[in-house]
Structure 1
Amino acid sequence: PKDVVLILFGGSGSEIEICELLNRQYISAEIDPKYHKIIIDRLKNGSVPKKHRLLTYMKKKQTVNIPQMMLPLK
């Protein structure tokens, strides 16, 4: 509760949202203005805008290459 979470790469704001939900203090940084806007929108609206969600982005691509080491082990 008194700890401060340091988020060096704000990204889409997932960790920030968790800190908010857990009532934790945090310090976050994001250098990219596009992602900064996504974070602000996420905190205001409670979700990432649909056009920025990973599955929406992946559906726009023809193929998705998954590196061999990312596949489940058999």
Structure 2
Amino acid sequence: MWWIALVGGLIAVAAGIAQVVRYFREGSGPERGLAGSGPAHRLVAAAMFVTTGLFVSFFSLANLVALRAALP
């Protein structure tokens, strides 16, 4: 089951990177869409995706290492 967390974490990291790329492509122009979806909000959301994905990936890999060490 550790691989599910690893894949989920990597997907979150990829989504965050895509948000950062989108932020820098669009710049800081006028807001579009729903309120609270401006460029700064997207950058914060991207940072949250990346950090969460990195934590999930790290802990799933740490879980794998612990399981490998515990097995005879």
Return the TM-score normalized by structure 2.
0.30
Q: Which has the larger helix fraction?
A: 2
Which of structures 1 and 2 has the bigger CA Rg?
Answer: 2
TM-score normalised according to structure 1 size: 0.29
- Of structures 1 and 2, the one scoring higher in RCO (CA 8 A, sep 6+) is 2
- The structure richer in strand per residue is 1
